[in-house]
Structure 1
Amino acid sequence: MDIRLKMKYISQKIWFFVFFLSIIIICFALGFIIYFLVARGYKVINWEFLTALPSRGMTEGGILPAIVGTLYLIIGSILVSLPLGVFSAVYLGEYAKPSTTVTLLRLAIHCLAGVPSVVFGLFGLGIFVKFFGFGVSLLSGSLTLGIMALPIVITSVEEALKTVPLSFREASLALGATKWVTIRRVVLPAALPGILTGLILSVGRVAGETAPILFTAAAFYARGLPRSIFDRVLALPYHIYGLMTEGTRPEKQIPIAYGTALVLLIMVLLVNFIAIYLRRRSRSARKW
């Protein structure tokens, strides 16, 4: 008996060490990526780099249009994916009864989450750019990225709705509220932290994508900011791709590409931190 207990104790220690080592490897990989980008990109980052327009084929000037275009695409994708994702999750979690159709819908959502981003780009090219006639524009790119983020939002919101205690719904219904009023005023506010988690994941999914906007929204070079939703936009991921693959002055383009990558990383982290802050505030406001 003592030998078995010792073996279990040793086995537990080994697995704890494996788990701890996994965390160390992940942190080291993340730290190395950040160090690599900072070491190669910080030299070109200054106020002019962040606020000026590009010049001389993107080998001089700044990346302001790419920063603004990336923010526009992120906001546009959120405006598309968040309402559709929340409504779909509410239907699947609160209204739909267990059936083969609902099971197939959930399976389709999970499959959609695994579709490569380049396929979404081709879909956006065929539907939004060609069929609806939006052209290569901010609108087409936002719709494409919003659909790409939709499975993450639906899954996250549905899981967040499941965390709301059933007693909340029963108490609201017992007081005479309708089911929709219960969902709108009780369930959704209680599930807000989980909804924000889905928002964080979707932003991380779409912010760094190149393939979808390559076909639907991105311009290789632009000297001004977009004036309407039907204009092409510069975006940081595609800007990096263009600098590393096009042009004849790599000695200037490569440092700018690393600086752009660092700016993109900082932007994604800032958006995530804002969402995490809002999530923590909503959690701290809970009474349960």
Structure 2
Amino acid sequence: MKRLTPVIEWGTLLLSTGIVVFFLVVILLDLTIKGMPALSWEFISTFPTEGMTKGGILPAIIGTVLLTLITAAAAAPFGICCAIYLNEYAAETWITKLIRASIRNLAGIPSIIYGLFGLALFVQGLGMGTSLLSAGLTLGLLSLPYIITTTEEALRRIPNSTREAALAVGATQFESIRDVVLPSALPGILTGLVLTLSRAAGETAPILFTGVAFYINNPTGYLNQEFMALPYHLYMLSTQHHSIEEVRPLAYGTALVLLCVVFFLNLTAFYIRYKHNKNGPRAH
């Protein structure tokens, strides 16, 4: 029986992995087959026309890129600083344990709750209105727990001996963190940040309440104006359009573009991790 246990465990693992991969491949093939006919330079570089039944998705692409940049600018500095404080400076007390537990609980809150909170805080409370800035700050709040958690995990991977060696040669704690710990943890921090932003780029519920629009005629937009985004554009084409069957190819094309954006961000994260693993032994 003891000999069969590892076989059963590995068999269950392989079967579960195979089922997940199978359905993932089916979904990707379906999106690719149905979305590729809609893809063209015109589809990527032009505005929607004729009630969204023709034309491209340029405003939605630009809006998604700007939204992601605002999310990164709002969440990354604060999240990384919080993780540095918790891991490097804060004493291990019940308060820090409570803070960590709260951060992990915040990561499990449904994204639509963040949308309602962003509506109350940024749109109404601070008077920003439905705008690109309100949506970006809302996604920044959504991303904070993930950035703090991944950054703290990256910092924990750095051995204490590295810190002690820096302190032994006369560096202050701040200097050891700035010059030794952070450079060593940077690949892990960047990986977590990119993966978090790729998740934020595909969110629909938070931006639904805070600034996204079905259509605008300004491709660049301003921080205090509404904007278009790929997730919401896909949602509208798939469920709310008055001619769903007519725009279905455009919906599949939009889904494929959004998938490519998320895939590119994830690929960037994997590349950062690969370079770190490849160069890590030499760096130390």
Asked if Structure 1 and Structure 2 have the same fold, meaning a TM-score greater than 0.5 normalized by the shorter chain, the answer is: yes
Aligned mate of 1:146, from 117, 140, 151: 140
Determine whether 1:238 maps to 2:229: no
Deviations 1:128-182 (A, max 9, x none): 1111111111111111001101111111111111110111101111111111111
Deviates more, 1:64-73 or 1:275-284: 275-284
Ranges in structure 1 where 5+ consecutive residues have no aligned partner: 1-6
Alpha-carbon contact 2:150-2:192 (below 8 Å) kept: yes
Q: Give the 5 Å matches for 1:1-288.
A: 7-286=1-280, 287-288=283-284
Give 1:284 shift. 3.0
Paired residues of 2:80 and 2:147 also in contact (CA < 8 A): yes
Give, in angstroms, the shift of residue 40 of structure 1.
1.6
Distance 1:146 1:160 in 2: 20
What secondary structure does 2:3 align onto?
helix
> 1:3 matched to which residue of 2?
none
What is the CA-CA distance between 1:283 and the residue it aligns to?
3.6
TM-score, with length taken from structure 1: 0.94
Counterpart CA distance in 2 for 1:230 and 1:279 is 36
CA contact (8 A) 2:195 2:265 kept: no
Q: Using the alignment, how far apart are the partners of 1:98 and 1:183 within structure 2?
A: 18
TM superposition score normalised by structure 2:
0.95
Q: Is the 1:193–1:283 Cα contact (8 Å) retained in structure 2?
A: no
What is the CA–CA distance in structure 2 between the aligned matches of 1:69 and 1:27, rounded to whole Å? 31
- Structure 1 residue runs of 4 or more that deviate by more than 6 Å after TM superposition: none
Letter aligned with residue 104 of structure 1: L
Alpha-carbon displacement from aligned partner over 1:178-218 (angstroms, at most 9, x marks no partner): 11111111111111121122113312321111110001120
Q: How many aligned positions are there?
A: 282
CA-atom RMSD in angstroms: 1.3
Structure 2 residue ranges without an equivalent (≥5)? none
Structure 1 stretch displaced more, 117-126 or 16-25: 16-25
In 1, are the aligned partners of 2:42 and 2:56 still within 8 Å (CA)?
yes
